[in-house]
Structure 1
Amino acid sequence: MALKTEHLKTAKAALKSMSTRREKTLTRADFITGLIKDIHAKMTAGFSLEEICAELNKTLPEDEQLNMNTFKTYVRRARTQAGIAPTRAWTPRTGPTEPKIQTTPNRGRTKGQKEDPASDFRDQGGDL
């Protein structure tokens, strides 16, 4: 059975009507991804993520509001995808520290024994 050109026309019309009937729903991650440039601009202007999240939650329905930790995760992912650098470093960048291992003189140790066990533990900042 061969198809006619009429079928092609009706199939195209059916596909066109499908796209207008169904509205695409955004996930929360897609929502943040769409706003990441505006969020980044507010962050560089001095607003905190908490303030931005609270402002966005005012625009969302009660059951769709963002948790702060989830919001931070979505912002981090969206920023990475968009190639936007963070506004500040999360950890201070310092050079590597030299280990402070204290050794005791050779107090009768044989060749296979370890050093003084007290040197294996870091100073915890208190008296024992």
Structure 2
Amino acid sequence: MALKPEHLKHAKAALKSMSAQREKRLTRADFVTGLIKDIHAKMTAGFSLDEICAELNKTLPDGEQFKVNTFKTYVRRARTQAGITPTRSWTRRTGPAETRIQTVPDKGRTNGQKEDPASDFRDQGGDL
């Protein structure tokens, strides 16, 4: 069976109407990404993410509301994608961690002779 040029016209028209009919659904991550500048502005104004999440949940339908931890994850990802720095530093470390080096007395070595690296590991019952 040979197709006629009018079939091509009908197929193109069907494809055009199909793309116009379907509405793209917004994921919750996309929802937060679209609001990240407003969310960041509220955080800068002193609101916590818990308060912002509660306020946004009032506008969403029952099945689509955010849990606070999920919302925080989406905000962190959206902030990273948008290049927005956090409003405060989350680390409590004030400087680099202090390293503790224990010296091992010489075990009959002469100066310049290195210890066998295999002696640093304990025998754990198998080949390393």
* Alignment match, 2:43: 43
Supply the AA of the counterpart residue of 2:36: I
- Alignment pair present for 1:95 and 2:99: no
Q: Offset at 1:101?
A: 7.5
Q: Offset at 1:40?
A: 0.9
* Alignment match, 2:26: 26
Judge which range, 16-25 or 68-77, deviates more.
16-25
Instruction: Summarize the alignment of residues 45-84 of structure 1 with structure 2, pairs less than 5 Å apart.
Output: 45-84=45-84
> Number of paired residues?
106
**Partner-residue secondary structure (3-state), 2:78:** helix
Judge which range, 88-97 or 50-59, deviates more.
88-97
* Alignment match, 2:85: 85
**Residue ranges of structure 1 left out of the alignment (5+ in a row):** 104-108, 113-128
Of all paired residues, the percent bearing the same amino acid is: 78
Cα distance in 1 between the residues matched to 2:106 and 2:83? 58
Supply the AA of the counterpart residue of 1:9: K
Judge which range, 38-47 or 66-75, deviates more.
38-47
TM-score (norm: length of structure 1): 0.69
Supply the AA of the counterpart residue of 1:85: T
RMSD: 2.5
Supply the AA of the counterpart residue of 1:78: A
**Residue ranges of structure 2 left out of the alignment (5+ in a row):** 109-128
Would the alpha carbon gap of residues 101 and 62 (structure 1) be closer, same or farther in structure 2, given more than 3 Å must change? same
Q: Offset at 1:13?
A: 2.0
Supply the AA of the counterpart residue of 1:19: S
Q: Offset at 1:25?
A: 1.1
Q: Offset at 1:53?
A: 0.2
